Structure 1
């Protein structure tokens, strides 16, 4: 039986803690900043953060063509497209509904990983873990959130599409050529992300759109560039390379739980018992999936 080191579980929870703040942050940012401009600012800030770290460590960018080709794919499916889809979707979709829709990601990941990710085949314990995680999300958001599904169909489909983008991104990351450093790969992907999002933002929103945004939107976007984009990218690469896409996918079940905790910490919102029960269910799901032997069903 192959257990997952506590270190990797710690980094998964840390990533969820950082990403869990993104939904509220995006909601604030897109009030006065167009979604694609927000994406461009996030990626530029993240690149400005990661590049000096790479230089200071004496690391280098990947030099093979295959890595850069896959880097473009990662920038599209892990940065530009899902950031834009979530930003646009959250203009109309409530956070509880978004949590349910993003829960598509682990289910899609476990299916794709069986066929396309080396060393990450399907096992019944993974399925049990995924279902427990999904149950935890339902406990957290409650039945009322389910009633709203279908009301803003295109915005909801956009968020579900972002979840599938993240699933594809995790599979591609697992299949990156071996060698190189985490920071080198992160800078490569962020460079591709800037090359895609910056021209797109200028084309869609105009070169001065960022200056029309409120100070609050700008500051919250700067925060997203440093933590939920820059730092999170390093943790993301580590987790996927160490444990595979299926294990990483549990981050999307933990995100809404930490979103509630962020609300309690920053906005003095009350943490109800359902949030605690949801966290317990999700962590049990992570544990069951983590202990799954690496064998086919």
Structure 2
């Protein structure tokens, strides 16, 4: 196939998609280590604060200014709630009792919920048979991962797993809402939403956790720094860029790249393991996400 000017650009975007999947896949392990000695709200408050400060420094170095109009900042606040404040906190709270591997599997269903929200609210995509298969397969996988104890409402980690599902729905809403930032430098909505998230969460942290009395371990502090700099500041910049170049559906397709990466990191560094049912559920989720995000043959040839 001859090399055209578009091919190197597409290859670059796909490499960035893999980098994003790795950054977000590793975030679950960072969170698991962080919440060992840092309360969830404080962990996420500091995460958004550090990441926002890093992006502000990057924007200043590049001589890029944040918008000053209230309308844009209202959009930043909504994006912050959907993409960081609510889901970050829910996942951090859940990982006090849920393994990082299970968290990444449950959270990988973002494209499925993105499609469901699109069909029920924005309605700009058709419900094809392939996509319906993806929804059924993905939701079945989620049920298998959660386990049969969910049927009876039992299990000590059931509420935590449901919290991750709610976080996944928030991410789906954020993927759709992020279309409001087309035309902006990708680092601008990333910085604006993270700063907004920090403003919301820092007072809550001061009231609920009283962080001045905490004694976090060195491992938790390092995990927090890695989570803030790499899995948040850098990842958000790449995310908003890919939303503009690959679209919301294409960008959320990193979910099925993130699953094996996140599970592998949890197994290697945290010594976690998955039950046979969870492995089956993992397969169903991946199949579902692939069915939801794989372009049609004609579209793929055009790309």
TM-score by length of 1: 0.80
Deviation at 1:215?
A: 1.4
Partner of 1:121: 125
Q: CA RMSD for the aligned pairs?
A: 3.6
Deviations 1:228-260 (A, max 9, x none): 111000011112222322222223332221013
1:255 alignment partner, one of 252, 258, 269: 258
Deviates more, 1:156-165 or 1:9-18: 9-18
Over 3 Å counting, the alpha-carbon distance change for 1:214 and 1:170 in structure 2 is same
Deviation at 1:99?
A: 3.6
Deviation at 1:147?
A: 3.9
Gaps of 5+ in 1: none
Between Structure 1 and Structure 2, how many residues are aligned? 283
Aligned residues of 1:126 and 1:289 also touching (Cα < 8 A)? no
SS, match of residue 265 in structure 2: helix
Partner of 2:276: none
Deviation at 1:7?
A: 3.1
Deviation at 1:201?
A: 0.8
Deviations 1:116-160 (A, max 9, x none): 669x6236387179459849x95xx99676345452332121111
Structure 2 Cα separation of the partners of residues 179 and 222 of structure 1: 30
Structure 2 Cα separation of the partners of residues 292 and 131 of structure 1: 22
Over 3 Å counting, the alpha-carbon distance change for 1:113 and 1:290 in structure 2 is farther
1:230 alignment partner, one of 217, 233, 242: 233
Aligned residues of 1:74 and 1:173 also touching (Cα < 8 A)? yes
Deviations 1:28-58 (A, max 9, x none): 1111110000001111211221111101111
Partner of 2:18: 13
Deviation at 1:81?
A: 1.0
1:66 alignment partner, one of 50, 65, 71: 71
Gaps of 5+ in 2: 1-6, 274-278
SS, match of residue 31 in structure 1: coil
Deviation at 1:115?
A: 6.1
Partner of 2:221: 218
Structure 2 Cα separation of the partners of residues 219 and 167 of structure 1: 29
SS, match of residue 20 in structure 1: helix
